[in-house]
């Protein structure tokens, strides 16, 4: 039986997946690199530096490590400018209810986000107190699809991975959940999230009673 639910942040709880997408798109256009929705989908859930590497696959130009660092910082500045203005209205519909219903059902809740901006976002969205444990990219060494972040979240909750359910909007995140030995709920479209154990169109459709009865 499940005793905990581990939520992803961007694209599951917050409507920030589109903000990341726009920031990468802006950077790509400024440095003359093609960008389409398929590349945008591959960047979801992937940490900042690995996202940049995916973007740079589209060019034969060799960037130095310093230049890459500068580009990643530039993207982050675009992203930060946007999230400065976020508030509770930027929670995805049903997100607060989904997390609260998990807690009411007596399960623990954790957050597993690849974003170094996760602590700021939680504060802006007003939901920091809804999680028993938070793991963000500042606490781990290996990014999704590695299982490290979901394993750290389970450990933080004091639960075995098999007692936890992961909720993700990105292919890299579903892979991370499965490598951690957990069941995965995918939020979004079937093409991108074929591997999910259960697929839902949005977090509003998440019903914990399906997993506890
Ligand atoms: P940052 P999640 C991920 O967050 C995003 O999905 C991904 O697009 C982003 O590149 C990554 O965080 C790193 O974010 O640049 O803010 O550190 O979906 O795991 O909550
Ligand atoms: Mg996500």
Residues 73-109: tens digit of each pLDDT: 999 999 999 999 999 999 999 999 999 999 999 999 9
pLDDT of residue 190: 87
User: How far apart are the CA of 213 and the centre of ligand 1, in A?
Assistant: 33
- State if residue 10 touches ligand 1 by the CB under 6 angstroms criterion: yes
The 3-state secondary structure of the chain reads: CCCEEEECCECCCECCHHHHHHHHHHHHHHCCCCCCHHHHHHHCCCCHHHHHHHHHCCCCCCCCHHHHHHHHHHHHHHHHHHHCCCCHHHECCCHHHHHHHHHHCCCEEEEEECCCCHHHHHHHHCCHHHCCEEEEHHHCCCCCCCCHHHHHHHHHHCCCHHHEEEEECCHHHHHHHHHCCCEEEEECCCCCCCCCCEEECCHHHCCCHHHHC
> Sorting pLDDT into bands at 50, 70 and 90, what band is 202?
very high
Task: Say what the pLDDT of residue 26 is.
Answer: 98
Residue 43 CA: which ligand 1 atom is closest?
8
Query: What's the ipTM?
Result: 0.92
Is 10 among the catalytic positions? yes
Q: What is the mean pLDDT of the segment spanning 149-178?
A: 97
Task: Check whether 170 has a pLDDT greater than 90.
Answer: yes
Identify the band that residue 192 occupies on the pLDDT scale cut at 50, 70 and 90.
Answer: confident
């Amino acid at each position: 039986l499940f005793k905990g639910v581990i939520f992803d942040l961007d694209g599951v709880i917050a409507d920030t997946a589109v903000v990341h997408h726009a920031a990468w798109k802006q950077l790509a256009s400024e440095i003359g690199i093609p960008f389409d929705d398929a590349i945008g989908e591959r960047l979801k859930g992937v940490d900042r530096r690995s996202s940049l590497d995916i973007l740079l696959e589209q060019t034969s130009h060799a960037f130095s490590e310093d230049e890459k660092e500068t580009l990643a910082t530039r993207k982050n500045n675009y992203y930060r400018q946007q999230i400065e203005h976020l508030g509770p209205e930027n929670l995805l519909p049903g997100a607060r209810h989904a997390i609260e219903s998990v807690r009411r059902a007596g399960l623990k809740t954790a957050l597993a986000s690849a974003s170094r901006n996760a602590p700021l976002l939680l504060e802006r969205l007003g939901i920091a107190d809804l999680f028993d444990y938070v793991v963000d990219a500042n606490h781990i060494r290996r990014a999704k699809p590695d299982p490290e972040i979901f394993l750290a979240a389970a450990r933080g909750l004091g639960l075995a991975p098999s007692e936890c359910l992961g909720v993700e909007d990105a292919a890299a995140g579903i892979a991370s959940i499965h490598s951690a030995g957990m069941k995965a709920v995918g939020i979004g479209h079937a093409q991108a999230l074929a591997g999910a154990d259960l697929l839902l169109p949005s977090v509003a459709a998440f019903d914990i009673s399906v997993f506890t009865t």
